[in-house]
Amino acid sequence: MREVYLDNNATTPVAPEVIKVMAENVNLYGNASSMHGFGRKAASAIEKARGHVETLLNAPGDTVMFTSGGSESDNNVFHTARTLIDEGSQRKTIIVSTIEHPAIIETCKDLEKNGYDVRYVGVDHFGVVQVEALEKMMNDQVLLVSVMSANNETGTIQPVKELTKVAHSYGALMHTDAVQAVGKIPIDVQEWDVDYLSISGHKFYGPKGVGALYIKKGVPFETFVRGGHQEGGKRAGTYNTNAIIGMGEAARLVMNEPAESREKEWDLRERLRKGLLENIPDAVVNGHPSLCLPGTLNISFPQAEGESILLMLDFEGIAVSTGSACATGSLEPSYVLLASDLDIELAHGSIRFSLGRYTTQDDIDYVISKVPPIIKRLREISTR
């Protein structure tokens, strides 16, 4: 059976070049915190990887901290905010968007449960946080604003630079979860002027279990993982050397990837969009039509359940998602789509197709041939 992987927003395959570099360094087992030669070799490889990540983000030296992934990076920022409030900050309000990743939404629920003031800025029907909407919520009590760079379900890109200007004009700190954006659109922490930015290696063809947090020099920071003095005392724990090397190589590959690659991904996405809309009545595309990640296509199919579509596509060797992989197991409709005022039936019947570096036109044509008859069959069942 043919296999087509269109779930790259959940995770990407590790690039062959990354596998090669990790294999070449698999015996680099010295503890990077040790002063002997074995440790120095590991430390040197880690700093080389750090340099690649900093270059990818246009981040100044010594501003990228390695973590276990995007969730830890996000949590570290909110831990910092919580500590500042606990230590007497006059600013006690946190603002996040209603479409953030569960790593942030669930963290904020926990903060609210413990009495902290968390407020949510909504989105328009395209899933975009409007600058005016954020400005209406801002005052001198706001400590932190967090808005993702691009949404993991719809691919909608947020105006991070403009939102940061608003946050800073009121003296607030700005964080963006760029986990879905890295490798897909240009990221420039200096142009955006954000204070914190989270990324995860496995979203751009690196290994799982490794990520990074950009921390602008001079901004508040509170250690989340305590113990040793790794990462300049910012994050304890023996370095995951090989994974860090892998993420560094993945970052280098992204930097060297031609712009034509993103254009090709968008072209394939558009081929899929047109092919499905032309062959499936009443299908609805979710998210912004142009301010969207090049490989993300979220479509709702009325009178067809998303979970049923996913399973029937899986029988055809096609991997897709009904939303965030971190929400798998929940039968509730996507809160991201509901936040964009999508009808609950459409939210229940949504499928996320996320293309990647290795997606081909043949893959897309195969999917176009398989989805319409599946939707037709499910609709027939639902009306009996």
243 and 100 both lie in a single domain: yes
Q: What is the DSSP letter of 63?
A: -
My answer on whether 249 and 280 are in the same domain is no
Hey, is 292 helix, strand or coil?
A: strand
| Model pLDDT, residue 259 | 85
pTM: 0.95
pLDDT number for residue 330: 55
On whether both 157 and 116 belong to a single domain, the answer is yes
pLDDT confidence of residue 271 = 98
Predicted pLDDT at 324:
45
How many other C-beta atoms can be found within 10 angstroms of the C-beta atom of residue 125?
Answer: 12
Report the alpha-carbon distance of residue 245 to residue 239 in Å, rounded.
11
Does residue 167 sit in the same domain as residue 51?
yes
Structure tokens at 300: 């709702």
- Of 98, 105, 52, which is closest to residue 75 (Cα–Cα)? 105
Same domain, residue pair 232 and 373: no
**Catalytic site residues?**
326
Domain termination residue (choose one: 256, 271, 297): 256
| Residue 103, pLDDT score | 97
Q: How many CB atoms lie within 10 A of CB 62?
A: 11
Which residues have CB under 8 Å from 29's CB, separation 6+? 38, 42, 241
pLDDT digits (tens, 9 = 90+) for 178-237: 999 999 999 999 999 999 999 999 999 999 999 999 999 999 999 999 999 999 999 999
Burial state string for 11-25 with b = 16 or more CB within 10 A and e = fewer than 16:
bbebbeebeebbeeb
133 and 44 in one domain? yes
Where the chain has pLDDT below 70, the residues are 323-331, 383-384
Do residues 74 and 129 share a domain?
yes
Single-letter residue type at 346: L
Amino acid 325: pLDDT: 46
Contact, 358 vs 13, CB < 8 A? yes
- The domain total for the chain is 2
Residue 323's pLDDT is what? 60
Whole-number Å distance between alpha carbons of 292 and 276: 18
User: Which structural domain, as residue segments, surrounds residue 21?
Assistant: 16-256
**Residue after which a domain boundary falls, among 197, 226, 256:** 256
Contact 204, 251 (CB under 8 A): yes
Query: What is the C-alpha separation between 342 and 251, in angstroms, rounded?
Result: 36
179 lies in the same domain as 199: yes
CA atoms within 13 A on the CB side of 33: 13
- Greatest distance between any 2 Cα atoms in the chain: 73
* Whether residue 236 sits in one domain with residue 209: yes
Looking at residue 233, which CATH number applies to its domain?
A: 3.40.640.10
Question: Which amino acid is located at 229 in the chain?
Answer: H
Number of helices (H), then strands (E), belonging to the chain: the values are 13, 12
Residue 321 belongs to a domain with what CATH number?
3.90.1150.10
- Is the domain of 249 the same as that of 305? no
> Are 252 and 278 part of one and the same domain?
no
Q: What is the DSSP string of 149-160?
A: SB-TTT-BBP-H
* 42 plus 28 within the same structural domain: yes
